[in-house]
Structure 1
Amino acid sequence: MKYFSEKIFFNQNIYFENLHENILIDVKNKIKQEFEEMDYQIKSSKERENAGWIIKDYRKRTIKTIYGNVNFIRTRYRNKWTKEVKTLVDQHIPIEKYQRMIPHLKIEILNRVGEGNRYRDIVDALRDSGISEQTISNTIKKFNISNETLNELESPKIDVIDKPFIYLETDDTFPNLIKNNKKTSFRIRLLVAHTGVVKGIHNRNFLQNKRIDYNFLQLGTTISTVQFSKEIKQLLHKWYENIENKQLILMGDAANWIPNLADELGAKYVLDKYHLIKELARIFPNRARYKNTRTIFYKNTFYKIREKIIYGNSYEEILNICNDIFLNLEENNWFNKLEDFKSFISFVKRNKRGIQNYYKEFDSSSHTEGQISSFIKSTLGYGKKIYSYKIFNNLLKIKKLKTNGYDFSELLEFDLETLQLKNISYNFQEIKEFTKFGNLSKDKKSALNLNGKWARKYQAGFKHNSK
């Protein structure tokens, strides 16, 4: 009975922690064996000997994986012709010469950054790897995908043949960042494209077929509306298929350039309801700190107009309720509010074009402010910290690529190709003997430059360009 009672109460936490540690040890040992087996295959290869690579010595290497640090022994070689020293297995795996983090872990970090995870969350999620917040920061700082690479590796296009409208939402925000050791103001123009709103988990709204882009400029730099419209058209053809004859719906605030952009695109312009209601709330605040104005009249005024904006049937209904409230303000001697309310009525009349479209079949609530908040401001953070321009731009680029359906494995393929040999043997070129090399072009599989050296036959990895 005593034995039975002792066996019942075992510590589950210790059991599962030990099990987890043992699994990690087994996985790391398997990785070590795989890499050392690759090294052995190269060492046993006749092609390696024929290429002139002779064993020089053995070196220990530590790499950082998603399962933790892995240590293994690999062989270094010296080429008896070029005198070049290489660790061939590093190119076969591939891993960079002085880089401890393998590409698989880098891709995992970039995917999580692209999903909007904070540094601390990524460290917790990948705790077995032993990375720190500084590791993540360094990975982001070194992330560099050229526009040429992005053009070659296009994201998968979305077929919108059954969608009648394509919605465009755009706005500017103005963050302060550090550039050249100075606090500098920037202008970021965000563009979000989607085909409408769908209900998701917990009855939340999600933008369907969303794609995103942005312009990142120093404050004071102008953005041509004509040029911006051309960029949008190019992006739409890059993101979507069968967009011919689709009606474009442009949503935004009351900035003058947005209706002009709608004209350039041939789009229907819809004023963001948030800005209209925000302008109204500025005149008739309904918060605890405005106790002297939280009267029944104020509440009725605010909610009547808001109801017409959100649930009304026409632009004229909004103007009519505004005229009635204006007369009530005069009758109740609210002269201090008359001028503000006049400016609101002028705001409504100025944006008649954008407000009239509230009641059309294509009307969809604008999500511009929410996208600005989730894509830019949440990345920037809401505290007093300030990012460097380079890191923040890379953060936005990573989030944009993730949203637009890019695969980071493909984006990093260029980096991998520069490290990984398709096979162990070099691409040999028979080179005639010259007193000196005339003009040798460097093969991408070799980092050695032999200009001015004496030539020999069968130099590995070089092509002769002299005539």
Structure 2
Amino acid sequence: MELIRLVMDKFLLVEEKIFKLLDGSYTYPEFEQELKEVLSDLGKDVCQDVLNELDEKIYKDKDKRKDWKVVQKGCKRTIVTPFGDVNYERRYYKNKSTGKRAYLLDNAIGIEKHERIDTALRADIVDISTNLSYQKTKDELTRYTGKASLSRQTVMNTIRKTKQIASNEKVNAKKTVNTLYIEADEDHIHLQNGKSCEVKLVYVHEGKKETLKGRYALKNPMYFSGIYEKEEIEDLWEKVWEYIKDTYEEDKIERIYIFGDGAKWIKFGVDYLPNTVYVLDLFHLQKYITSALKDDKKSKKKLLKAIFKKDIQTVNDILNEKLKTQIESKDQIEKCITYVNSNLDGILSYSIYKDEIIGCSAESHVSHVLSERLSRGPISQSKAGAHKMGKLRAAKASGISVKDAILKERYKSLEPISLLPDVISYEKQKLKKATSMIRAGGTSLPILNYKKSFTSDAIKSLLESCSI
């Protein structure tokens, strides 16, 4: 194991660069860039050395690798890490009992077959790509990792291979509420094959609360998203119901208000969930009325008044009269008549449950949660990529750390690996010897003999505090 030599070499190199900075050979920005490269190289070398040593440890620990025999050694592999590309060698094993073959080191550190990206960088890729395009994610990470060999395709593949982010963890004590609110809408996206598709968005909350800035925010929202079509719609609403059951005392929920634009997939949720009341999103009702009546404000006002008085006869009379006089708007008026009559239950809910119903903000939430990443601008998506991205954006909107969730999911299946005691003892002796040499011979570090400065004082304090 060469960790001590690596650290000492890099330490001396950093010391040399500090000296050059103070001597006027570098500007400060140049020094920062040089320092970043040195530390990245150190991280890469340390990872490589540790991996090679862990492979040796697995080989020597015959009790833990019982029934596994080496069939090939020195098998090279490269993984991309936050420090850059790390090259290491490991042994290939075969199980005497089952005949199964595996790289035990790769299994131990959580690197799957054909995987090129390590877990830490994978988490960064997924987290950043929820806000930026694949190309911009690649550019952003390359800027900070420096030497990591990433591509747009690598970013895309990483997103697609990411497992489902858990929408919530089961709580010990369920909450008791009388009323829940669900709002639903969809984002229309362009696919790479020239067709279009809908990414659904559903979110559950407990109502609204006023913020310190005088605005209103949803109380404890949880978002669900993805491309769900035909029979898959039931899967979406099943996820919503599972969340409600896991979070709330379901028998105490008196009503669940579901706001939507009248789409069949939303009304499916009304039938699927218990104790539901369907509420039509007024934003969409206004769109249909405006499209039918144009600038006729008097008729609009009369129509809306009739709608909320539950006077459906007057509603149809107004629209049918317009149908006779506004021939050029015939299609829009007929659509409005159909829309109003097919969503009467959702419209009448405003009169029946006016004390409990709050406004619907589904349109703005679709814009913020989905459109901002999926459909705004001249971009097209693959179906698989848009489905996964919708889920990731929903998780993030729910306050879930995508990065932490990915790391936790990968780490929970791994066991800590410790080096053999004799290896650790040997390395500690080397470190103790190296530290003693530095303490005894300050002249080996020129900066310690340089004029008194913050940097030299900091290094001296560091050395004095060392205790091995």
Same fold (TM over 0.5): yes
1:396 corresponds to 2:411: no
1:143 corresponds to 2:162: yes
Structure 1 residues 386, 10: closer, same or farther in 2, change over 3 A?
closer
1:90 corresponds to 2:111: no
The Cα of 1:237 is off from its aligned counterpart by 1.2
| Alignment-derived partner of residue 168 in structure 2 | 155
For 2:204, the aligned partner's letter is: A
Structure 1 residues 211, 370: closer, same or farther in 2, change over 3 A?
same
| Alignment-derived partner of residue 250 in structure 2 | 243
Cα distance in structure 2, aligned partners of 1:87 and 1:305: 73
Instruction: Give the RMSD, CA atoms, in angstroms.
Output: 5.1
| Alignment-derived partner of residue 462 in structure 1 | none
1:13 corresponds to 2:29: yes
Which structure's residues are more often strand, by fraction? 1
SS at match of 2:160: helix
The Cα of 1:197 is off from its aligned counterpart by 3.2
| Alignment-derived partner of residue 206 in structure 2 | 195
The Cα of 1:134 is off from its aligned counterpart by 1.6
Deviations 1:146-196 (A, max 9, x none): xxxx8xx78314666354421112345665646xxx666656554322222
| Alignment-derived partner of residue 360 in structure 2 | 366
Q: Does structure 1 conserve the Cα–Cα contact (< 8 Å) formed by 2:292 and 2:333?
A: yes
The Cα of 1:248 is off from its aligned counterpart by 0.5
For 1:208, the aligned partner's letter is: K
Cα distance in structure 1, aligned partners of 2:264 and 2:63: 68
Q: Does structure 2 conserve the Cα–Cα contact (< 8 Å) formed by 1:170 and 1:368?
A: yes
Gaps of 5+ in 1: 1-5, 286-297, 426-467
**309, 312, 317: which one pairs with 1:316?**
309
Which shifted more, 260-269 or 41-50? 41-50
Aligned length: 384
**43, 55, 62: which one pairs with 2:78?**
62
Q: Does structure 2 conserve the Cα–Cα contact (< 8 Å) formed by 1:315 and 1:352?
A: no
Which shifted more, 374-383 or 135-144? 374-383
Cα distance in structure 2, aligned partners of 1:84 and 1:263: 50
Deviations 1:227-278 (A, max 9, x none): 987665344214x232332220110113467567536632222211211221
Cα distance in structure 2, aligned partners of 1:109 and 1:125: 9
Structure 1 residues 51, 335: closer, same or farther in 2, change over 3 A?
closer
| Alignment-derived partner of residue 408 in structure 1 | 406
| Alignment-derived partner of residue 380 in structure 1 | 374
1:209 corresponds to 2:220: yes
The Cα of 1:135 is off from its aligned counterpart by 1.1
The Cα of 1:137 is off from its aligned counterpart by 0.8
**% identical equivalent positions:** 21
Structure 1 residues 237, 8: closer, same or farther in 2, change over 3 A?
same
Gaps of 5+ in 2: 1-21, 421-468
| Alignment-derived partner of residue 54 in structure 2 | 38
For 2:406, the aligned partner's letter is: F
The Cα of 1:378 is off from its aligned counterpart by 4.2
Cα distance in structure 2, aligned partners of 1:49 and 1:258: 54
Cα distance in structure 2, aligned partners of 1:410 and 1:200: 32
For 1:315, the aligned partner's letter is: F
Cα distance in structure 2, aligned partners of 1:201 and 1:9: 52
1:133 corresponds to 2:152: yes
| Alignment-derived partner of residue 27 in structure 1 | 43
Cα distance in structure 2, aligned partners of 1:45 and 1:335: 87
Q: Does structure 2 conserve the Cα–Cα contact (< 8 Å) formed by 1:168 and 1:248?
A: yes
| Alignment-derived partner of residue 270 in structure 1 | 279
Cα distance in structure 1, aligned partners of 2:391 and 2:248: 23
Q: Does structure 1 conserve the Cα–Cα contact (< 8 Å) formed by 2:233 and 2:265?
A: no
Which shifted more, 390-399 or 50-59? 50-59
Cα distance in structure 2, aligned partners of 1:338 and 1:44: 83
Which structure's residues are more often helix, by fraction? 2
Q: Does structure 1 conserve the Cα–Cα contact (< 8 Å) formed by 2:181 and 2:257?
A: yes
Cα distance in structure 1, aligned partners of 2:163 and 2:49: 32
SS at match of 1:362: coil
Matches within 5 A, 1:414-433: none
